[in-house]
Structure 1
Amino acid sequence: MNCSTMSDRQSHILIATPLGKGGMGGIDRIMDEVRAIDERNPQKGVSLSFGVTRGQGSIVLSPLYLCMFLIRMLSLKAFGRVDVLHINLSSHGSARRKMIVARWASLLKIPYVIHLHGSRFRQFWNESPPSIAHGISRMFKDAARIVVLGNVWKSFVSGKVPGIEDKVVIIPNATPAPTLRPVPAEDGALRILFLGRVGARKGVPQLIEGLSMIAGRTGWRAIIAGDGEIEESRREIERLGLADRVSLPGWVGPADVAELLSRSDVLVLPSFDENLPMSVIEGMAASLAVIATPVGAVEDIITDGETGLLVPVGDAKAIAVALQRLLDEPELRGRLGQNARKLHAERLEIKAYFDRLVDLWTSLIRQ
């Protein structure tokens, strides 16, 4: 085969996603954006395809989805239509499924990329029995590249598996720029927004407690949006006398999220653990003042007092103090939002994210 034929050959990338198109998880949403960019502007010489490894709906069906994905890998390999496999990895069941996928890829001689996005992966790996821990280590060691979302995760995986540091690449999560313009509050109230799973891990009890501490202040209202422990949270809000100022709409889809972001001033995510949360990045893109906890890779994008405010994990009082500060200092609120929007445009925009992935895949194919 001559050189020109080799350079003109289409490169095929197979992307393993947990739930597939329309999935509610953060990585599924990002991969939906990757799919949409590729559909709008197909990359010359690169063909993307997507496969589901867990599936939406009952977990009982996940072995079926996994088997179908493994069969598809074999078929694509047989017909020369897979050059790189991109594996999106989280913890627990996801890790067990992806160990099987990675081992199958090795047997089929398909180079694969591990893309680590699970917020609880550190605890899962550290607490796994030896057989699982060894399987995870082997999966990372055999990977052609490892994508992590921030410096803390690069240090973690490099420390767990000596010798892989040169294969670890940091590509933070990303979102599109907002499509809706900000809508000012007609009454001038500070509009506080939480986006995420409603429950203890995301710090919602501490957020509600913090809101109760500023109940004596006028000029604010809050929306806590997401699925999870809705009724328990609603009862606590009613017990604290906040029902007229704090609403819980439940899970909201992408269009509603965009609308909420355009009609908010502050985003709060007081999580106990994260990898790199999508809601913080969405808030930054929308020029909101962000209050977050320094967990996962959050400190890679939130510098306290510059692109947001950081509060200690589990500290309701600190959340209240940060909210009071933003109530009292509208100029600070505006500056934090502007700086956050600037950082998003420079480092967290979805098209640049897409381009970095394509560069990563094609660099492996050229090796």
Structure 2
Amino acid sequence: MLQRNTQTKPLDVLVATPSGGTGQGGIDRVMGGLRTELERQGTAGLKVRFGATRGPGHIALSPFYLGGFLLRMLGLKAMGRLDVLHINLASAGSTYRKLQIARLARLLSIPYVLHLHGAEYREFWKDDQSRLSRDIRTMFEGAAHTMVLGQVWRDFVAARAPRAADRIVIVPNATAQPALPHVGGGERVHILFLGRIGDRKGVPQLGDALARMQHLDSWRATIGGDGHVEAARSKAAELGLADRVDLPGWVGPQRVAELIASADIMVLPSFAENLPMSIIEAMASGLAVVATPVGAVSDIVIDGETGLLVPVGDVDALTTALTRLVEDKSLRDRLGAAALQLHREKLDLTPYARAVGEVWISAAR
């Protein structure tokens, strides 16, 4: 259990996250899990609050949520109840909001931790001297610590903001252990994809790979998520996959848990990621994983050990990897067992909450 000196007042932490840790986006799920784990542990010496900076509704309402968060910062600081600010950061609108939050934190002399989780931040934060790039660099270099999800992101931030390099900490995402026991797909191997349906997640390539596997009778697939659902359904029908591939659209937490429990293989052939929650959740249940080595994925999916990696956009390699796993139960079991062990050791919420708490305590010193 993480502890501070309880003879002093608790360390007051305010966490800035899109929907306050209650939304269904990846970082809100992580922060919701963190809040639950902190409550379960009863961590001494920390008082952690969560606040929404975008809000769960229409984007037009986000200025009101941001304004409310900034006012909350001012009020907590005035009452002596804000020691550290934790800022979750992605690209586009998230950065524009967080630039204002970080600017106010520096004005009020509040130490802040930046938590970078955006999959496309390399493309968003350009290596130039534009006003936006300079402002982002100032935000990172003004942070007490920057939390990133893997080595590739540590190198990226260090290159863009050299004065922040010695304060970058790698803390991978984490999930709770599953509430439902893993039962698998039974007689037909269940291949599962979870994520936003579209080009960035490699769904077109996945459809083509599944079409090439139609001669195998021993599999079925579920492609769950929002995005271009109707287009994907039409494409599945065109490829002759309508009776083999289910596209339910957006699925809530309970249904996600049920799908993972009934799956044998998790596939995520993305073109860009940071460290996707679907892979970590799959590992928590001992699924065999097929993914592309993008973002920090290769930090946890070691090819041939904790999963299979395929080149980005390579339909042939994706087809081969999925076919191997469908036909070879011993390989599925071996990769799944290794993934499960890795989750328990490094990707579970218990060590995650401890690591994040240590970053907060260090930031306040």
Q: Which residue of 2 aligns with 1:60?
A: 60
Q: AA paired with 1:62?
A: S
Question: How much has 1:138 moved relative to structure 2?
Answer: 0.1
Could you tell me which amino acid in structure 1 is paired with residue 20 of structure 2?
G
* Bigger Cα displacement from structure 2, 13-22 vs 200-209: 13-22
1:336-355 maps to which residues of 2 (within 5 A)? 336-355=335-354
Number of the residue aligned with 1:89: 89
Is contact 1:213-1:317 (8 Å) kept? no
Which residue matches 1:200? 199
Give the C-alpha shift of residue 363 in structure 1: 2.2
Deviation per residue, 1:260-293 (Å, 9 max, x gap): 1110000000000000010011111111110000
Spell out the pairing of 1:159-238 with structure 2 (5 A cutoff): 159-186=159-186, 188-238=187-237
Q: Secondary structure at the match of 2:206?
A: helix
Aligned: 1:132 with 2:132: yes
Give the equivalent residue in structure 2 for 1:291: 290
Aligned to 2:150: 150
Contact 2:127 2:160 in 1 (8 A): no
Aligned ranges 1:204-353 → 2 under 5 Å:
204-353=203-352
Q: Is the 8 A contact 2:6 2:45 kept in 1?
A: no
Tell me the SS of whatever aligns to 1:164.
helix
Cα distance in 2 for partners of 1:289, 1:6 equals 44
Instruction: Give the Cα–Cα distance (whole angstroms) in 1 for the partners of residues 123 and 354 of structure 2.
Output: 31
CA distance in structure 1 between the partners assigned to 2:64 and 2:300 by the alignment: 39
* Cross-structure match for 1:44: 44
The CA deviation at 1:7 is 3.5
Q: 1:11, 1:83 within 8 Å by CA — same for their partners in 2?
A: yes
Partner Cα separation in structure 2 for residue 146 and residue 127 of structure 1: 19
Counterpart amino acid of 2:220? R
User: Residue 95 and residue 129 in structure 1: after superposition, are their counterparts in 2 closer, same or farther (change >3 A)?
Assistant: farther
One-letter amino acid of the counterpart of residue 228, structure 1: G
Shift in Å, 1:24: 1.6
Instruction: Decide whether the 8 Å contact of 1:119 with 1:275 is kept in 2.
Output: yes
Deviations 1:15-57 (A, max 9, x none): 0001224212111001011111223333212100011111111
Unaligned runs of 5+ in 1: none
- Structure 2 unaligned blocks of 5 or more: none
Q: CA deviation at 1:5?
A: 9.3
Partners of 2:172 and 2:40 in 1: how far apart?
23
Closer, same or farther: CA 162–73 of 1 in aligned 2, 3 Å:
same
For 1:272 and 1:6, the matched residues in 2 are separated by 47
Residue 129 of structure 1: CA displacement?
Answer: 7.2
Q: Which residue in the other structure is 2:363 paired with?
A: 364
Q: How many residues align?
A: 362
Residue 272 of structure 1 aligns to which amino acid in structure 2?
F
Checking the alignment, whether the CA contact within 8 Å between 1:15 and 1:86 is kept in structure 2 is: yes
> Is 2:291–2:309's contact at 8 Å kept on the other side of the alignment?
yes
CA distance in 2 between counterparts of 1:246 and 1:181 reads 23
Instruction: Answer whether contact 1:226 1:251 (CA < 8 A) is retained.
Output: yes
Aligned to 2:99: 99
Q: For the residues of structure 2 that align with 1:32 and 1:295, how far apart are their CA atoms? A: 25
1:122 aligns with 2:122: yes
Partners of 1:224 and 1:162 in 2: CA distance: 41
Residue 12 of structure 1 is matched in structure 2 by 12
CA distance in 1, matches of 2:194, 2:5: 49
Which residue identity lines up with residue 85 of structure 2 in the other structure? L
Report SS of the residue matched to 1:163: helix
Moved over 3 A (4+): 4-7
RMSD over aligned Cα atoms? 1.5
> Residue 35 of structure 1 aligns with which residue?
35
Q: Give, in angstroms, the shift of residue 128 of structure 1.
A: 7.6
- CA offsets per residue over residues 48-72 of structure 1, 9 Å max, x none? 0011111111111111111111111
Structure 1 residue 184: deviation in Å?
4.0
SS in 1 for 2:185: coil
Matched AA of 2:188: A
